[in-house]
């Protein structure tokens, strides 16, 4: 047994913590999703809470065990859990069970224009708008992630050995093609301009495909698995976790091949565990393994400010309200900070 | 893979269909009152499992994209263990039941390769349930049966009431020939004290020091080249660290696929600490583990379990590592 010698330094609270509201719930935060000016948070005890105007709703008992994944469909929350349920939850807490897969976990959920998707094992279940029965898209191995493009005509499904790219034709028929790269692929996202597809892998690297010509390449050099990554400022940068810096790859022009990423350093040499783009800005919110959160301008690292100081628990969720007035931070220790972003005089 | 109290122990139950895995599982779950277990199964529904938290998995073996063909992991375990670690209530232990024909190596390697898994859980032990009546035939017919014995920390030799004494001795000798480390426990209907199969910490380096294997003479004979066997070496002459590292890393790089498990305690010239290691195929956990005990002779001991060991010139390689 090793004694834990790491002691938290005494640090004053940030102005965001001073003027914000802290909730010490003690339940690991697994997900957060913005719905208008509310933020829905999923927890490791299967509950969902809605935060708005600095208030938390009563816990909504959504799943038996863990809220594994979360997304939204319009003003509704979508969740998948280890109880095998795929749920649609309204902001006032009404639960509608869309699918139930028993002892098989619902690992991923997403939606686009009324089409709802969840995955369980190696199958994508796709509910087209107003259809009761889902369409089943089967894959050779367990699904690591799923994403719609902006128009909802393409569905990328990451798995062992690459990505299956499903396309919907105008008669609503889905056909698939394969993007191959050896290894196990986890989370997948499209760039907001739909030009690129990016996956994180079981190895400490990312992989991307440029869809018009299928050029692909790895982005490597990370010390840990990349659990969080997102496009920033439309599609100009891809911000990534998995290193002591927030590593931001350039995706403008011809993309990142042969170009260096911008690395945003943070004090303390902790691992970046979460990145969240700041809406409509060339900036990101970065969460670290010790619970601290920073706001950084990508092209001007000196403009980094600290939002939250240490909690000693890894940051597992960050979300910004639609009007960009408030943000929410959650960590694996169940600490939540809700705070306004702008100083009073700037309002 | 060094321990902290935050890591949840994971026990892996292997064994052929019908050997009694589910009987053992239910025994664990019903006898351990007040403990919270998660059970990960791959043959769900075959027999009832008496637990709140049963997770259905597919045994998905992934090759890591790192150029090493024997570096395989269980993708489903990474996903499920990472998920379970987000639970609000803390688990006392996790039990993974594998299918009868599973190779235990990818399960064990998952705990070496995936950092998230290694940070939050630890492989406690591989417990193989074997049917005393059928094990001999299974060992001849299925390489998976050999691997399950080769990787075992504990072999629960079940249904001993159905074989006579000489038959039992034959089976036990066969197990020992494959794996001199495994503790063999005779049972009927998996009747075993649970502290003999749970919380063993068998994969910690500290435990390598505690377990004295049944060292065998190396003049055993082979029925097939395919056979999994073990070879062990002892030296009272200290080893040269550089020579040993050079030999051993090359050996694992080139023969790692055939070497299933290795364990060793090493005495290096000029080093006051004991060096301890244990490995699965090419993956290795090694560390100095404190001073040699006072009054006890320093010596190096090395054990290999694998296939085609006799073709690897292990004795010569080991001899060459001795300090001049």
| DSSP secondary structure letter of residue B217 | -
CATH classification of the domain holding B165: 3.40.50.300
B259 shares a domain with B148 = no
The tokens describing A231, both together, are: 């496009």
Whether residues B51 and B102 share a domain: the answer is yes
Residue B255, domain member (yes or no): yes
CA distance to partner chain B, nearest, from residue A213 (Å): 24
Domain containing B51: what range? 8-203
Rounded Cα distance between B199 and B56, Å, is: 24
**Residue the block writes with tokens 């499209």:** A190
**Over the stretch B35-83, which tens digit does the pLDDT of each residue have?**
899 999 876 555 677 777 888 888 888 888 776 767 899 999 999 999 9
The answer to whether B88 contacts chain A (CB < 8 Å) is: yes
Give the nearest partner residue to B58 out of A28, A121, A224, using CB atoms: A121
Write down the residue that tokens 């910490």 correspond to. B201
* Residues B273, B131 share a domain: no
Please check whether residue A293 is in contact with residue A287, taking contact to mean a CB–CB distance below 8 angstroms. Answer: yes
> Is residue B249 domain-resident?
yes
Within a domain: residue B154?
Answer: yes
Question: Which candidate from B54, B76, B115 shows the least CB-CB separation from A225?
Answer: B115
- The H-assigned helical ranges of B114-181 are 115-120, 135-141, 143-151, 165-178
* pLDDT surpassing 70 at residue B283: yes
Best residue in B41, B53, B83, B115 for a mutation probing chain A (most A CBs within 10 Å): B83
pLDDT, greater one: B208 or B249? B249
Contacting residues of B for A121, CB less than 8 Å apart: 58
ipTM: 0.90
Q: Enter the DSSP assignment of A65.
A: S
Closest CA to A19 of A322, A320, A343: A343
Same domain (yes/no): B13, B135: yes
What pLDDT, on a 0 to 100 scale, did the predictor assign at position B32? 78
Tell me, yes or no, whether B199 and B233 share the same domain.
no
Return the number of CB contacts < 8 Å for A and B. 78
CB contacts of A6 in chain B (<8 Å) are: none
What is the rounded average pLDDT of the residues A103-127? 96
Please choose, from the candidates B150, B45, B38, the residue with its C-alpha nearest in 3D space to the C-alpha of residue B83: B38
pLDDT above 70 covers a percentage of chain B that reads 91
User: Distance between CA A62 and CA A60 in Å, rounded?
Assistant: 6
The answer to whether residue B218 sits within a structural domain is no
Taking the C-alpha atoms of residue A144 and residue A266, their distance in angstroms, rounded to an integer, is: 30
Contact A81, A88 (CB under 8 A): no
Query: What DSSP character marks residue B171?
Result: H
CA of B5: how far to CAs of A5, A46, A47, A117, B153, in Å? 14, 25, 27, 39, 22
Same domain as B90, residue B31: yes
Residue numbers in B near A1 (CB within 8 A): 3-5
> Which of A82, A183, A205, A313 to substitute to test the interface with B, most B CBs within 10 Å?
A82
**pTM, to two decimals:** 0.89
Half-sphere CA count of A178, side-chain side, radius 13 A? 10
- Quote the minimal CA–CA distance from A48 to chain B in Å: 13
Query: Which residues of chain A neighbour B58 with C-beta distances below 8 Å?
Result: 121-122, 142
CB of B67 less than 8 A from some CB of A: no
Among B203, B233, B266, identify where a domain stops: B203
- What domains lie within chain A, and their CATH numbers? 28-106 (2.40.10), 132-220 (2.40.10.500), 224-341 (2.130.10.10)
Burial B164-191 (b: 16+ CB within 10 A, else e): eeeeeeebbebbbbbbbbbbbbbbeebe
Residue B216 to residues A148, B178, B280: CA-CA distances in angstroms?
Answer: 60, 10, 21
Percent of chain B's residues with pLDDT above 90 = 56
Residue B214 belongs to a domain: no
Nearest Cα of chain B lies from the Cα of A202 at a distance, in angstroms, of 8
Region B91-99 average pLDDT: 92
Ordered DSSP codes for A85-113: EEEEE-TT--EEEEEE-TTS---EEEEET
Rounded distance, CA A306 to CA A294, Å? Answer: 4
- For residue B273, the surrounding DSSP H or E stretch is strand B273-280
Nearest CA in chain B to A227: B116
| Residue B209 forms part of a structural domain | no
B217 inside domain: no
User: How far is Cα B150 from Cα B262, in angstroms, rounded to an integer?
Assistant: 10
> Total structural domains in chain B?
2
What pLDDT shows up at residue B2? 42
Q: Is the pLDDT of residue A345 over 70?
A: no
Residue B211 lies in a domain: no
Distance CA B305, CA B259 (A): 6
Whole-number Cα distances in Å, A206 to A181, A230, A234, B78 = 11, 12, 19, 18
Q: How far apart are CA A294 and CA B314, in angstroms?
A: 55
Domain of B292: which CATH number?
3.30.1220.10
B27 & B139 share domain = yes
Query: Nearest-CA distance from B239 to chain A in Å?
Result: 30
Contact B116 A225 (CB under 8 A): yes
Considering the domain architecture, whether residues B194 and B229 belong to the same structural domain is answered as no
Q: Do B196 and B240 belong together in one domain?
A: no
Q: Are residues B196 and B229 in the same domain?
A: no
First to last CA, chain B: 34
Helix (H, G, I), strand (E, B) or coil at A132: coil
Mean pLDDT of A8-24: 84
Q: Alpha-carbon torsion B287, B293, B298, B302, what sign?
A: negative
pLDDT digits (tens, 9 = 90+) for A267-288: 888 999 999 999 999 999 999 9
Please give, rounded to a whole number of angstroms, the shortest distance from the CA of B163 to a CA of chain A: 38
Picking from B203, B237, B255, the residue at the C-terminal end of a domain is B203
CB contact under 8 A, A65 and B87: yes
Cα–Cα distance for residue pair A308/B131, rounded to 1 Å:
58
For residues B178 and B85, membership in a common domain is answered with yes
3-state secondary structure of B87: coil
What is the distance, to the nearest Å, from the Cα of residue B255 to the centroid of all Cα atoms in its chain? 18
Nearest CA in chain A to B81: A82
Same domain, yes or no: B70 and B131: yes
């Amino acid at each position: 047994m090793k004694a834990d010698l790491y002691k938290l330094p005494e640090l004053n609270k940030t102005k965001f913590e001073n003027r914000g509201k802290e909730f010490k719930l003690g339940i690991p935060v697994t997900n957060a999703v913005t719905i208008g000016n509310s933020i829905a948070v999923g927890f490791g005890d299967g509950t969902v809470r809605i935060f708005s105007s600095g208030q938390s709703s009563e816990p909504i008992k959504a799943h038996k065990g863990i809220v594994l994944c979360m997304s939204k469909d319009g003003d509704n929350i979508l969740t998948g859990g280890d109880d095998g349920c795929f749920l649609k939850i309204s902001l006032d807490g009404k639960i509608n069970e869309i699918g139930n897969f028993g002892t098989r976990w619902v690992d991923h959920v997403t939606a686009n224009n009324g089409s709802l998707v969840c995955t369980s094992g190696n199958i994508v279940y796709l509910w087209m708008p107003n259809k009761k029965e889902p369409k089943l898209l089967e894959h050779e191995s367990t699904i690591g992630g799923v994403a719609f493009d902006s128009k909802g005509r393409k569905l990328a499904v990451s798995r062992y050995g690459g990505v299956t790219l499903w396309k919907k034709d105008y008669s609503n028929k889905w056909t698939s093609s394969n993007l191959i790269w050896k290894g196990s692929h986890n989370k997948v996202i499209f760039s907001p301009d739909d030009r690129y597809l990016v996956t994180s892998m079981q190895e400490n690297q990312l992989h991307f495909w440029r869809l018009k010509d299928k050029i692909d390449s790895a982005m490597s050099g990370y010390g840990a698995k990349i659990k969080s990554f997102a496009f920033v400022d439309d599609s100009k940068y891809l911000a990534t976790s998995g290193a002591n810096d927030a590593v931001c790859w350039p995706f403008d022009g011809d993309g990142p091949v042969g170009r260096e990423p911008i690395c945003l350093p943070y004090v303390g040499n902790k691992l970046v565990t979460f990145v969240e783009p700041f809406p409509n800005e060339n900036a990101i919110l970065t969460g670290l393994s010790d619970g601290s959160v920073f706001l950084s301008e990508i092209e001007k690292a000196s403009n980094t400010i600290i939002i939250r100081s240490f909690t000693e628990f890894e940051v597992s969720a960050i979300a910004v309200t639609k009007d960009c007035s408030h943000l929410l931070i959650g960590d694996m220790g169940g600490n939540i900070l809700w705070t306004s972003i702008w100083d009073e005089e700037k309002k | 893979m060094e321990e902290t109290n935050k890591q949840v122990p994971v026990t892996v139950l292997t064994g052929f269909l019908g050997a009694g895995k589910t009987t053992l599982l239910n025994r664990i779950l019903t006898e351990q009152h007040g403990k919270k277990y998660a059970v990960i199964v791959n043959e769900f529904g075959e027999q009832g499992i008496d637990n709140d938290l049963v997770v259905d998995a597919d045994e998905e073996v992934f090759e890591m994209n790192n150029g090493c063909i024997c570096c395989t992991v269980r993708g489903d375990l990474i996903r499920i263990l990472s998920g379970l670690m987000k639970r609000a209530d803390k688990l006392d232990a996790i039990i993974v039941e594998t299918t009868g024909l599973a190779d235990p190596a990818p399960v064990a390697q998952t705990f070496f390769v995936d950092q998230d898994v290694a940070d939050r859980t630890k492989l406690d032990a591989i417990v193989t349930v074997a049917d005393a009546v059928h094990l001999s035939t299974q060992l001849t017919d299925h390489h998976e049966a050999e691997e399950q014995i080769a990787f075992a920390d504990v072999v629960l030799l079940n249904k001993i009431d159905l074989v006579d004494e000489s038959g039992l001795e034959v089976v036990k000798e066969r197990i020992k020939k494959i794996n001199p480390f495994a503790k063999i426990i005779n049972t009927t209907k998996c009747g075993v004290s649970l502290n003999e199969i749970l919380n063993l910490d068998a994969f910690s380096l500290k435990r390598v020091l505690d377990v004295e294997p049944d060292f065998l003479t190396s003049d055993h004979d082979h029925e097939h080249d395919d056979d999994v066997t073990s070879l062990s070496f002892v030296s009272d002459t200290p080893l040269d660290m550089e020579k040993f590292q050079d030999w051993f890393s090359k050996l694992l790089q080139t023969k790692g696929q055939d070497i299933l498990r290795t364990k060793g305690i090493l005495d290096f010239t000029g080093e006051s600490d004991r060096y301890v290691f244990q490995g699965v195929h090419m993956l290795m956990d090694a560390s100095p583990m404190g001073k040699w005990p006072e009054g006890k002779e320093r010596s190096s001991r090395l054990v290999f379990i694998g296939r085609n060991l006799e073709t690897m010139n292990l004795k010569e390689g080991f001899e060459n590592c001795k300090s001049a």
